[in-house]
Amino acid sequence: MNNSMDEKEKNLRSTITRNLGDIVEGILTKNPKFANIPIHQEAAQSFSHYCKYEEKLKNDIKSRFIKAQIASGRFFCEKSLFGHQGKPFAQRYPEHMKAREDFWNWIKSQEDYSSQIGHARTAPIKKAIVNKCVKQTIKTRHPEFKVDNKAFGSIGYYRNIGFKNKIFLVVDTGSWRTTLSFMFGIDYPKFSMDVAEFFADHQSHYGDGYQSIEQVENAINKALDLVDALMPFYLEAIECAFTDNGLQV
pLDDT over 90 (residue 121): no
Report whether 173 contacts 155 (CB < 8 A): yes
The pTM of the full predicted model, rounded to 2 decimals, is: 0.92
Q: In this structure, which amino acid lies at residue 205?
A: H
Report whether 215 contacts 125 (CB < 8 A): no
Q: What is the pLDDT of residue 29?
A: 98
Q: What is the pLDDT of residue 12?
A: 97
Q: What is the pLDDT of residue 114?
A: 57
Pairwise CA distance, residues 206 & 223, whole Å:
7
CA-nearest of 64, 40, 37, 36 to 52 is 40
- Mean pLDDT is highest, among 68-72, 85-89, 118-122, for 68-72
Q: How far, in Å, are 18, 115, 125, 202 from residue 119 at the CA level?
A: 42, 13, 17, 25
State which H helix or E strand residue 135 sits in: helix 127-141
